[in-house]
Structures are given as C-alpha cells and as structure tokens.
C-alpha cells in the first residue's frame, strides 16, 4: 500500500504544484522518488511529528495541499493536540498518512500497534478517515483525498499487501465497495483485514451461507445507505477491523443501526478494548484477537444460525 500511495502522489504532484510531502525521518527507499522529482516540495522534518503537523498546517493555510507521513501511531496519537487545534479547527488541507495500521508491526509491541487511531480521529470535527484494503484502493484513495478539501487521515498497512480487486473499483469517498454479493450475512471490513473477510466468505459459501462483503474504506463519512441496505437484505451484520471495537468501524455501524431503528443480528470483531500485550506476526495477533479467517467464518456462521 505504501508504494501505491507514493506512486499515486507523484502522479498527482506532476500536475498540481500545490502538493507537498513532509516525513518524520522515515520512508527510506520509499519516498526518494518524490524527493528527487520535487525537491522544493519535500521536507524531512525529523523525529518531530508534532512540529511536522504545525508546519503542514502553516503550508496549508498558504494554499498548499500537504501530506504528512510517518509510521504507526506517530503522526496520529503523538500529535492529537496539534491535529485538533491546528489542522481540524482551521479545516486545513492537511492529509495525515500513517503506515502500519492495525497490527501490521505486531512484533514491535503496543507502541507500534495502531488500534485506537480511528476512534480518536473520528471524534475530531472536519476529519475524513479512509483505510484502503489493498494497493488498488490505496492509489485510488490517495488521488481522492488530494481532490478532497480539508483534513484527511489515510490509514495504510504496509508494502507487500496482496491485490484484492480483480478490476479497478469505483472508488468514492464515503461509498463502500461491494466486493462480494450475498443475501445471508454481511461482512463489513475496513483496511487490510478485508482479505480475511473475503476468505471467510469463501469458507461460509461451502456451508451454504452466502455472504455479502463490503470494503468500508471510508469510516468517516460512513456509507449509511450500504449499512441500511445490509440490514434490510441480509439477516446479520458483522464488522471486522484491526482496531479497538470501541470507536471504530463497529461503533460507527452500530450507531447507524440504533439511530435508524434497524433490528438485525450484529457483532463486532476487533480488539476487545484492551492493549495487545502479545508480540508476534500480524497473522499470529489476528488469530489471538479472533480476526483470523477461521474465527471470522465461525462467528458469522454461528450468528447466522442463531438468527434462523
């Protein structure tokens, strides 16, 4: 996803001189092509993400479109005050990009586990939140937020993520992508965990359970119509996210269902309001937190049977 982000950003920067990229002393072997082609629009701020956010806001207030990039929690949780008071309060055209969303950097411990970021960013007025599922969505999301006025948070996984879309989807901010259609249960996933949701749907189909799979790449603004359609047309909804179940995708979907009075079997799969004290590979930690393909399929199957 990171490579797709940089390639898409370079393409946009060639036709829009307002685009700047600021990094927090990371991205080596990744951001050099941008720096070499646009040296006057690239700044390595160093390990000073709070300063980076303030500088980005200043550039944005001068009419620039500013992307800030760093790893994991550093451009988000470390900078919440600056994002709130500088970026969001002034509705500045700053795009915050974090690499390593969810449990991607699992072996580095909780300092690098990005599991509360969406919930915190959701509470900030003017903020748009996008978590693409694969390199295709990453490139499309980068282009979309370049054209989107105001603060954006782009939550990436890392390089080497598999391609999940066989063809280029219609990508619109605030509109879910129907990856697989089905009439029994709906699996709503955001970010790279979509891969597990798709594979779980394939397992469920062998049990005679047809699953609708939605890539909810935009968490804010949420695709309310897609959620309500799932509530009308399928008997159960399961949200799947590498994030605390509080404040993220599951919370956003449950708010829609409760406020619209939709009665449907519902379950959130994610980090159960805890720090992930274990360390290990992303796949290992997904299994620990019921985010593996097998766990998703089991939960969805049991929810479907209870509904019947």
Give the tens place of pLDDT for each residue, 28-46.
999 999 999 999 999 999 9
> Which residue's structure tokens are 């699992």?
106
Quick count: other Cβ atoms within 10 Å of Cβ 283? 14
Whether 306 shows a pLDDT value over 80: the answer reads no
Q: What is the mean pLDDT of residues 246-261?
A: 97
- Cβ density class 123-151: b for 16+ within 10 Å, e for less: ebeebbbbbbbbbbbbbbbbebbbebebb
The pLDDT value given to residue 161: 79
Backbone angles phi, psi at 231, to 5 degrees: -65, -35
pLDDT at 51: 98
pLDDT over 70 percentage in the chain? 98
Q: What is the pLDDT of residues 148-199, one digit of tens each?
A: 999 999 999 986 778 999 899 999 999 999 999 999 999 999 999 999 999 9
* Alpha-carbon gap, residue 228 to 224, rounded angstroms: 6
Contact call for residues 21 and 75 (beta carbons, < 8 A): no
For the chain, give the mean pLDDT. Answer: 95
Domains of the chain by start residue, with CATH: 2-155 (3.40.50.970), 177-307 (3.40.50.920)
pTM for the structure as a whole: 0.96
H-helix segments, the chain: 2-13, 32-37, 49-61, 80-82, 117-122, 135-147, 194-205, 224-233, 249-259, 282-288, 293-307
Task: Report, as an integer, the average pLDDT of 98-107.
Answer: 94
């Amino acid at each position: 996803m990171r490579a797709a982000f940089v390639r898409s950003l370079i393409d946009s920067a060639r036709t829009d001189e307002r685009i700047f990229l600021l990094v927090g002393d990371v991205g080596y072997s990744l951001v050099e092509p941008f720096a070499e082609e646009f040296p006057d629009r690239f700044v390595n701020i160093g390990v000073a993400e709070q300063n980076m956010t303030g500088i980005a806001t200043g550039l944005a207030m001068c009419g620039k479109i500013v992307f800030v990039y760093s790893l994991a929690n550093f451009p988000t949780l470390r900078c919440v005050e600056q994002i709130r008071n500088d970026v969001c309060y002034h509705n500045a055209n700053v795009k915050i990009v974090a690499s390593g969303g969810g449990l991607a950097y699992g072996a580095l411990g909780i300092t690098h586990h990005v599991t509360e970021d969406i919930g915190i960013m959701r509470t900030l007025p003017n903020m748009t939140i996008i978590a693409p599922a694969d390199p295709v969505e990453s490139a499309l999301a980068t282009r979309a937020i370049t054209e989107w006025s105001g603060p954006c948070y782009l939550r990436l996984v890392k390089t080497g993520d598999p391609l999940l879309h066989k063809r280029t989807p219609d990508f619109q901010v605030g509109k879910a992508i129907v990856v697989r259609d089905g009439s029994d249960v709906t699996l709503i996933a955001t970010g790279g965990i979509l891969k597990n949701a798709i594979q779980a749907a394939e397992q469920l189909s062998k049990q005679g359970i047809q699953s609708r799979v939605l890539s909810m790449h935009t968490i804010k603004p949420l695709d309310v119509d897609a959620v309500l359609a799932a509530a009308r047309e399928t008997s159960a909804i399961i949200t799947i996210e590498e994030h605390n179940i509080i404040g993220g995708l599951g919370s956003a979907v449950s708010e829609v269902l409760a406020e619209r009075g939709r009665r449907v079997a519902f379950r959130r799969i994610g980090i159960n309001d805890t720090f992930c004290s274990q360390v290990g590979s992303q796949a290992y930690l997904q299994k620990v937190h019921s985010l593996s393909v097998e766990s998703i399929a089991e939960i969805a199957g049991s929810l479907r049977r209870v509904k019947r």
